[in-house]
Amino acid sequence: MARIVLVTGGGRSGKSSYGQRLAEAHPEPRLLIATTVPFDEELKERVERHRRSRARRAWSTIEEPVDLAGAMAGSAGFAVVLVDCLTMWVSNLMWEATARVAGGGYTEEQVAKKCEDLLAACRALEATVILVTNEVGLGIIPDNPQARLFRDLLGRCNQIIAADADAVIFMISGLPLQLKGSANLDPIPEDQQ
């Protein structure tokens, strides 16, 4: 059964870098499931920086913005799977649903079901699964309904994933704070895999 580590924190807190270092402390092969859809030049450059940081480090990559449980289910054989990130995944779910159903979108219950499906797909693997997400509940209340819905959906997602995760790390100013379990940079001993 998989070991699940959730890495959370604010924007530019070091989440992705920490998740990558944690993944690279584990044996190969490694898989990154990228959820970002680079829709502008700045985002394309961010994605390219992340690609360069993994170059020549034995990474495979799957780009999957919506069907994260499906991508996870197809990840058998990897020692470690890094998902970067749940924040973009929830955003993609919101926009995909809105495009599909005019005026529609996901409810918290529907996102909760997607998270449960993702966790089931994770637990079916024999791997360490590292999920990166943003903490969105520490700021002001958003001033518009779409932004409040996004905060609520991602907050619900984070709660569900954190409750089931073996370890939860909160990143602040590049420093990891252990909230649950252990997510040190040491690989899982072979007798516990």
Chain segment 142-170, per-residue pLDDT in tens = 999 889 999 999 999 999 999 999 999 99
3-state DSSP call for residue 119? helix
Q: How confident is the model at residue 187, as a pLDDT?
A: 47
Residue 137 is classified by DSSP as: S
Mean pLDDT of 38-66: 82
Rounded Cα gap, residues 15 and 21, in angstroms: 10
Q: Is residue 23 over pLDDT 50?
A: yes
Domain 3-181 has CATH 3.40.50.300: yes
Catalytic residue, from 14, 47, 50, 74: name it: 50
Q: Which two tokens stand for residue 135?
A: 């903490």
Q: Please give the C-alpha separations between residue 137 and each of 49, 104, 170, in angstroms, as whole numbers.
A: 27, 24, 13
Q: Please give the C-alpha separations between residue 127 and each of 76, 84, 174, in angstroms, as whole numbers.
A: 8, 16, 25
The residue that leads in pLDDT, 186 or 173, is 173
Mean pLDDT of 24-47: 87
26 is catalytic: no
Q: Is residue 92 over pLDDT 50?
A: yes
Query: What digits encode the pLDDT tens for the residues 97-138?
Result: 765 555 567 889 999 999 999 999 999 999 999 999 999 988
Q: What's the pTM value of the predicted model, to 2 decimals?
A: 0.89
